[in-house]
Every structure is written in structure tokens, then in C-alpha cells.
Amino acid sequence: MKKKYAILIFSKPPIPGLVKTRLTVQRGGSFSQEQAAQFFKRSLWDVTELAMWCMDDLDAANKAEREADPSAPERSYDLFISTTPAKNVELMKQTIDELGEWPREIHYMADKGATFDDHFDYAFQQIFDQGYHAIVSIGADIPTLPRSHVTLAFQWLDYFDEVLGTPGFVQAPCQECGTSLVGFNFDTPINHQGIYYNMDGRPALDGYVEKLKNSDIPSAYLAPVADVDEPEDLAHCLSCARALQEAAKCQTGIYVPTRVLQWADFLGIKAVARPNDNHDPRQYFDEEEDGAEAPAHAPEETEGHLR
């Protein structure tokens, strides 16, 4: 048996003034529109390369699976990049091809609709219509996404389908009650309607959870990964990226977003934290200067809930 799987990068092309505008001076940030677009371009490059590495990981996992059990499905993985409108597909391809030839084919497509939800559904359906069994979608503005997240996402979808006998869903939140990764099978009874184009203040993460409960869909939760929208997000991203770069000297299985780091180093960007003068008073933890122990403070009874 053969099964096809898709990684989907759902993204705009890096056009100044259309991407990462909350990082720009015009929206209260520190960067020009061109600089913000340059960050996004490099993040897109890093996430595309990350996807390539993930497909190698998944191929290796399937090879080991089939060696242990020759009856296991033969799984193949493809990368799709979807953008809008259709006239921007060629621009997106040119942007990706600036780095030269990639080790795997990249499939480009256009999405459309009246809302973000419509665009997302359209992209998923286009891929499912080509016979793909499951899709895992990742954001182009999440260069610190762990490689293991993508592998685990597909493995959970296979577990739900092949072990539990029912299609499932997987997601990883971002830092603002949204999502950084979303995946489901072709026959999972779910869509993106009412998730991102939300008129009543419900976060996207909660919207998916409601759909999962209402349709009794099994789901997997992966650790949150921050995307980059605000200047604070960028600071967090760069700190994490530099930590990844240092850890990669000894730790295997991680991806370092080198192009984002090169952009930051070229501009001399460093994350800065304000001095902390609002710390907890140490007298409740340390001994008094005269040697007497600090007074004990009994924990407050909560009766199982937060007050």
C-alpha cells in the first residue's frame, strides 16, 4: 500500500508593505518595510529548508518501519507552497529559487476565497483532491519550529488512522492562542471555517478545540512554538535561534535558522531585556541576617480551583 503525505507552507510572498507590517515603523516597530520583508524572506527560506530536512527524517522513519514490518505502507512526502493571488505564484517561485536548486521538488499553488478560512480550506482541498492522505501545514514565519514537530504530527495522524481506526487532528499552538502547526487527514470531519475569520473574539486554538469536541475527533497536542508578528516575538525568535545555534555544536536532530540569524547579524540586532527591579522579596525565602529563619507561610487552600 502506498500513501502520499503533504507538508504545506501557507504564505504570502515577501513583498515590502504586505508582510510583517507590525515590525515596521509605520506600525510602531523599528524596521523599514523593506527590512521587515527581508526578514520574512529569510524566514521563508529557513522554513522551506526545514521542511526538506523533515521529509528526509520521515523517509528514514518509513524505511525503518518497512524493514521491521514489510507490510507497512510505503509513505511518500511532498512539499507544497500556497500563496495568493494566482499572479504571485511565479513571484513566490522566483523567491524560493534565489537560493538555487533545492534537493526536492516544490509544488506551487494559489489559494483563494473571501476570508482567510476560505483560503486555508481551498489550499487543503486542492491537495486532498490530488490523492494525498494527510496534510501538515506550517507557517513561514516560524523559523524555530522543531524538526520533530513535523515528524510527530504525521506519526500521530497515522496512529489515529491505522491504530485507532479513525481520522484525527494535530496542532501546535503559537504564543497568542493561535496555531503554528495544523494537520489532519483527508477524511477528518473538520475544516477551518470560523477559526481565523472570527467575529466574536474566540481564539483560533479554542475554535479548533470546539470543532474537535463537537465531532469527537481524536487529537494530538504538540508544544507551543512562537511565530513572529510583533517586535517582542522577533526578540524571542532571535534568542531561541542563537540558543539553537549553540546547542547544534553537540545536539543532533535540530534545525538552525541560519538565514534569519545572518539577517539579524548583518543589521546588528540583539534581543534586550529590561533590568528586573520587580523581583520577589527574598526575605520570604532566605534566612534573616541575624540568623533567624524567615516566618513560615502556609499554602492557601484552593479547593481545586484558582481564586
Tally the domains of the chain: 1
Residue 241 lies in a domain: no
Cα 170 from Cα 221, distance rounded (Å): 6
* pTM for the structure as a whole: 0.89
**Which pLDDT tens digit goes with each residue over 253-273?**
999 999 999 999 999 998 887
Residue 238 lies in a domain: no
Residue 283 lies in a domain: no
Cα 32 from Cα 304, distance rounded (Å): 50
Q: What element of type H or E holds 6? A: strand 2-10
Q: Please report where in the chains the cell 513535523 appears, as a residue.
A: 150
Residue 211 lies in a domain: yes
All cell numbers assigned to 99: 537560493
Residue 48 lies in a domain: yes
Residue 92 lies in a domain: yes
**Which pLDDT tens digit goes with each residue over 197-219?**
877 889 999 999 999 999 999 99
25-54 burial, b for 16+ CB within 10 Å, e for fewer? eeeebebebebbbbbbbbbbbbbbbbbbeb
Residue 112 lies in a domain: yes
| CATH value at residue 223 | 3.90.550.10
Q: Please report where in the chains the cell 510583533 appears, as a residue.
A: 230
**Which pLDDT tens digit goes with each residue over 71-93?**
999 999 999 999 999 999 999 99
Cα 175 from Cα 144, distance rounded (Å): 13
Residue 107 lies in a domain: yes
Q: Where are the beta strands (DSSP E) in 30-145?
A: 74-83, 106-110, 134-138
What is the extent of the structural domain holding 135? 2-227
